[in-house]
Amino acid sequence: MDTLTAATRPKADSGEFIYAFLDAYDFPKATLTQIRNGGQRNVASRKDEGHVALKKWLYYMPVRQGESIHEALQVLADEDEPARHKCRFLVVTDFREMTALDTKTDERLEVGFGELATQYLFFAPMAGLERTKHFEEASADLKAAAKMGRLFDRLKEVNEFSTPEQLHALNVFLTRLLFCYFAEDTGIFPKNAFTKVITEASGENGEDLPDLLTQLFRVMNQPEDERPADLAAHVAQFPYVNGGLFRDDLPVPEIRGTGRRMMIECGRLAWEAVNPDIFGSMFQAVVDEESRDSMGQHYTSVPNIMKVIRPLFLDKLYAELHKDRGNRKKLEALLERLSHIKVFDPAMGSGNFLIIAYKELRRLEMSVFRAMQDVGEQKQNELFMSGIRLSQFYGIEIDDFAYEVAQLSLWLAEHQMNMLFAKEFGHAEPLLPLKDAAQLVAGNSLQLNWLDVCWNGEGQEVYICGNPPFHGTAGRNVEQARDMKRVFGKKALGYLDYVACWFQKGTDYLQPGGEAAFVSTNSLCQGQQVATLWPGILNSGIEISFAYQTFPWSNSAQSNAGVHVVIIGLSTHPTQKRLYQRVSGEWRMKIVKNISPYLVEGGNTIVSSRNRSLVPALPMVRGNQPTDGGNLILSESEKDQLLDREQRLVPWIKPLIGAQEFLKGDCRWCLWLVGAPEEVLNIPEVRSRLDAVRALRIKAGHAAALQGAKRPHQFLQVAQPEEGSYILVPAFTSERRPYVPLGFMESDVISNNKNYIIPDGGLYEFSVLSSIMHLDWMRLVCGRLESRYGYSSRIVYNTFPWPEVSERDRQEIEKLGRAIILARAAHPDKTMTQLYDPDKMPDNLLETHQALDRAVEKLYRDRPFRDTAERQEYLLARYEALIEAEKASKPSRTKKSRNAVTKEG
């Protein structure tokens, strides 16, 4: 580390820096010498420009002063070379500042060149020390949250908390405790003063502790000069806190001996190591009964928050800083701008987004101060003071406790940043007395007028961000459903997720200007929901300014919520549209002309579900839905036993095929009693099963089930063809397969509702639907389960723009379809899963599919398609043309034009 300090001294030779740097991380001397002599250890192609690339570890790129290190890093991150050499760290410096990216954790370092030694740990993995900071912090957070949780439980045992007032008092009490613990460990209070007072000034049975705490809290709400002169020293040592935290004289709960011991234990935790960024979420989860099992499942991790706020405002502010460098006036203007930016999270939870946004803006501001120092012209004794105030941060939260924690965490974040500021600029504003607070509101975000919370209008620079809650149609409660109705007015909501409300309210809010970005479930940009949500947004002049395509949700909670998410930025006037796509595990940003509501590059065409096929085609229906609680369904052995006892059942038991059975070759059977005589229905084993079905359907209670309870011998919904064969399409299939396997079934094989079926479908349909043209159409428009394909008749099949086909071509296509059946048949021992395994698909089958693909593509046009994007673009254009033609032929039914087929540009 000493070498690092030396190498970054102002007068050090910049050419030598990289060697000192590598030396500091214990790279062998031999390696250093080798690089110095231009040896092969340095795999950079631009050695002559001073680049150094070490396989697996580092790509180092010096730039001339005046060039933006941030832009250079962005460019470098997008290049292939570092990835090719698997370089974990990308480092760019102009020898004034350094910026670096840890490609593994997606963390960024920005540091003045001279202060690099203080950030030694960022590169610690290069010295063989995996940077466990985050893990440790998380575990400190968890430990603290768990301990506080136990204290919370104990308090509930000895107190009555039932009214909202009592609960609020408890929430405030816990928040105050948290503040005191942090304060005594981070220099806001005298070291350990709070825990010490509890230990020394209260009895072991804890009976006098509530009185003591009441007294302490009162004092913390009293300016020093207003306090009584005779105040005991152990009380008087606590400073005036203000800021509203101790304003209200709320009752302190009974604590007793056990509670007291727990409080002292909590005080012994290393609170300085607890990171307010996510601690609040952890703790909130502990306290919230309903979510305790899923503790912290839904808090947004710091990397994911960065994915939201960097494209939203941070990147462009850094770009502005770069542009203004060297110009004191402009830098001053930038500072002024920073002090007026508003950040608003209308679903803030315990405030993660606001905390990170606050910290990042403070870091940026420090970079501006550094740039001002570089300009010189510093006025005599000029003191830099942060102009960023917590009151620029706005939030809404429905949960009272989370709201209290958010307020607290922001104060703590301010304290942290003041400390950081002091380290570099030599002075810090004291945290106490707390001056301005963030402008947070406890309430229902969907019922509040956001303009009342955070004014938006001419001359304002407002950024909305957050991760609002997701609830599908089944997952929301009555009040949430009512809120949705209110937010969207009379519009039919279909399958719209609850989270869509934030997009809608954001759209209204942004009319005067500003930008918003939310984390959302990916389903908003798939299937049904696209046509329900997006026309309204796009028609009110809002565009998608940036987007992260689907990725699995994750944070460091012990069990993660099962959902895949997207991040969507909205703006009235996006200057540049950025699409973030994951290519082999890494995020790549592409600047595009337009981002479609499906979050791919392209126009704003929206495909709406249809009841009938767009072009004349055989109808597709869904397989039979049992709603039987399993009572009409038999395993192989159940079937055998039943048939042993009852020969009369032979004609009434049929093979049942779901997606699982089709794909994996499993075998199930069902009682298919359509048209069965009374005598069969009265067989005792049958009767008892039918009684169970009836009971279940009555219990379900909805109209369809009650109807079905009158005929329990039938599946609730019957769609089975009576004769012939049908094409089977599994409803949910893995997205990893190169093709979605379809199959032919005879009409006496009963399909359940996990498949879609085309009665009387032939080889031509089979072939086209198996082809890449249809597969890519499906990929574009289908709904999904996380990322699995969710096939559906109305969205995928009925909207599919089939090709025009001559009789001769049709026969050719059928021949190729038959070849696929034969290619499969050549592997009679393999299931569909095995045949279509992405890694093990047999060559003959793959080749046959590819031949079919080419033939089907040719039905559309002679020139082959380059890739999925080109096929989708082509099909969308054809879809639009067909829709237009349909409208033209049926002018009276133009009601369907709410499809809002808006063309871009």
CB nearer DNA, residue 340 or residue 699: 699
Q: Which position among 196, 794, 818, 830 is part of the footprint of DNA (CB under 7 A)?
A: 794
Structure tokens at 867: 């890739």
Footprint of DNA on 661-700 (CB under 7 A): 663-664, 696, 700
Is the distance from CB of 669 to CB of 655 less than 8 angstroms? yes
Residue 504 binds DNA (CB under 7 A): no
Structure tokens at 341: 């930016």
What is the pairing mode between strands 439-442 and 393-397? parallel
Place of tokens 């570890």: 57
3-class DSSP assignment, residue 489: coil
Structure tokens at 899: 């499809």
Residue 123 binds DNA (CB under 7 A): no
CB nearer DNA, residue 456 or residue 792: 792
Peptide bond into 433 cis (omega under 30): yes
How far apart are alpha carbons 388 and 338 in whole angstroms?
A: 7
Kindly tell me the burial class for residue 839, based on how many C-beta atoms sit within 10 Å of its own C-beta (0-12, 13-18, 19 or more). Answer: exposed
Footprint of DNA on 343-402 (CB under 7 A): none
Within 88-132, residue ranges assigned H as helices are: none
Q: Which position among 386, 416, 526, 751 is part of the footprint of DNA (CB under 7 A)?
A: 526
Residue 583 binds DNA (CB under 7 A): no
Residue 243 binds DNA (CB under 7 A): no
Instruction: Show Cβ contacts of residue 415 under 8 Å, excluding neighbours closer than 6 positions.
Output: 182, 186, 188, 431
Least spacing, CB of residue 905 vs DNA, in Å: 27
Binding residues for DNA, rule CB under 7 A, total 76
Least spacing, CB of residue 776 vs DNA, in Å: 17
Angle at 372 between CA 371 and CA 375, to 5 degrees: 90
Q: How many Cα atoms are found within 13 Å in the side-chain-facing hemisphere of 215?
A: 18
How far apart are alpha carbons 257 and 744 in whole angstroms?
A: 73
Q: Which span sits near DNA by CB under 7 A: 57-65, 438-446, 518-526, 766-774?
A: 518-526
Q: Which span sits near DNA by CB under 7 A: 30-38, 66-74, 181-189, 467-475?
A: 467-475
Q: Which position among 695, 785, 805, 869 is part of the footprint of DNA (CB under 7 A)?
A: 785
The sign of the dihedral angle between the CA atoms of 107, 69, 309, 409 is positive
**DSSP tag of 600:** S
The helices-and-strands tally (H runs, E runs) of the chain is: 32, 25
Residue 783 binds DNA (CB under 7 A): yes
Footprint of DNA on 753-772 (CB under 7 A): 753-754
CB nearer DNA, residue 81 or residue 106: 106
Q: Which position among 250, 493, 544, 852 is part of the footprint of DNA (CB under 7 A)?
A: 493
| Amino acid at residue number 278 | I
Residue 734 binds DNA (CB under 7 A): yes
| Amino acid at residue number 814 | E
Least spacing, CB of residue 789 vs DNA, in Å: 8
Q: Which position among 112, 259, 730, 803 is part of the footprint of DNA (CB under 7 A)?
A: 730
CB nearer DNA, residue 304 or residue 725: 304
Residue 473 binds DNA (CB under 7 A): yes
Query: What H or E segment, with its residue span, contains residue 785?
Result: strand 783-785
CB nearer DNA, residue 290 or residue 679: 290
CB nearer DNA, residue 179 or residue 553: 553
CB nearer DNA, residue 253 or residue 730: 730
Residue 269 binds DNA (CB under 7 A): no
Q: Which span sits near DNA by CB under 7 A: 122-130, 452-460, 679-687, 790-798?
A: 790-798
Least spacing, CB of residue 359 vs DNA, in Å: 22
Q: In what order do the strands lie in the sheet with 725-730?
A: 621-622, 755-759, 725-730, 743-746
Least spacing, CB of residue 468 vs DNA, in Å: 6
Residue 535 binds DNA (CB under 7 A): no
**DSSP tag of 631:** T
How far apart are alpha carbons 412 and 427 in whole angstroms?
A: 18
Residue whose C-alpha is closest to residue 316's, from 366, 364, 387: 364
Residue 899 binds DNA (CB under 7 A): no
Residue 471 binds DNA (CB under 7 A): yes
Least spacing, CB of residue 14 vs DNA, in Å: 42
CB nearer DNA, residue 569 or residue 790: 790
Q: Which span sits near DNA by CB under 7 A: 102-110, 422-430, 442-450, 617-625?
A: 617-625
Q: Which span sits near DNA by CB under 7 A: 86-94, 152-160, 535-543, 792-800?
A: 792-800
CB nearer DNA, residue 173 or residue 756: 756
Residue 784 binds DNA (CB under 7 A): yes
Query: What H or E segment, with its residue span, contains residue 531?
Result: helix 527-539
Residue 415 binds DNA (CB under 7 A): no
Residue 478 binds DNA (CB under 7 A): no
Angle at 222 between CA 264 and CA 430, to 5 degrees: 80
Place of tokens 């060559």: 843
Least spacing, CB of residue 81 vs DNA, in Å: 28
Q: Which span sits near DNA by CB under 7 A: 94-102, 224-232, 457-465, 655-663?
A: 655-663
Least spacing, CB of residue 441 vs DNA, in Å: 19
Instruction: Show Cβ contacts of residue 682 under 8 Å, excluding neighbours closer than 6 positions.
Output: none
Residue 468 binds DNA (CB under 7 A): yes
Residue 577 binds DNA (CB under 7 A): no
CB nearer DNA, residue 100 or residue 347: 347
Q: Which position among 15, 66, 630, 665 is part of the footprint of DNA (CB under 7 A)?
A: 630
The residues facing 757 across adjacent strands are: 621, 728
Residue 599 binds DNA (CB under 7 A): no
Is the distance from CB of 71 to CB of 94 less than 8 angstroms? no
Q: Which position among 210, 626, 761, 817 is part of the footprint of DNA (CB under 7 A)?
A: 626
Q: Which position among 255, 335, 364, 731 is part of the footprint of DNA (CB under 7 A)?
A: 731
Place of tokens 């002090």: 339
CB nearer DNA, residue 529 or residue 848: 529
Structure tokens at 843: 């060559």
Between the CA of residue 626 and those of 638, 716, 722, 731, 792, what are the distances in Å? 18, 5, 17, 16, 18
Q: How many Cα atoms are found within 13 Å in the side-chain-facing hemisphere of 709?
A: 14
Is the distance from CB of 564 to CB of 522 less than 8 angstroms? yes
**DSSP tag of 793:** I
Q: Which position among 793, 816, 820, 823 is part of the footprint of DNA (CB under 7 A)?
A: 793
Q: Which position among 147, 154, 176, 298 is part of the footprint of DNA (CB under 7 A)?
A: 298
Place of tokens 């003959």: 844
Residue whose C-alpha is closest to residue 718's, from 807, 636, 623, 797: 623
Structure tokens at 826: 């050549």
Residue 801 binds DNA (CB under 7 A): no
Q: Which position among 183, 519, 537, 816 is part of the footprint of DNA (CB under 7 A)?
A: 519
Q: Which span sits near DNA by CB under 7 A: 151-159, 405-413, 788-796, 847-855?
A: 788-796
Residue 279 binds DNA (CB under 7 A): no
Residue 596 binds DNA (CB under 7 A): no
Beta strands in 354-467 (DSSP E): 393-397, 439-442, 462-466
Footprint of DNA on 829-868 (CB under 7 A): 833, 837
CB nearer DNA, residue 341 or residue 841: 841
Q: Which position among 12, 618, 719, 851 is part of the footprint of DNA (CB under 7 A)?
A: 719
Is the distance from CB of 782 to CB of 872 less than 8 angstroms? no
Q: How far apart are the first and last CA of the chain?
A: 56
Q: Which position among 280, 395, 469, 506 is part of the footprint of DNA (CB under 7 A)?
A: 469
Footprint of DNA on 542-561 (CB under 7 A): 553, 561
Structure tokens at 572: 């009235």
3-class DSSP assignment, residue 873: helix
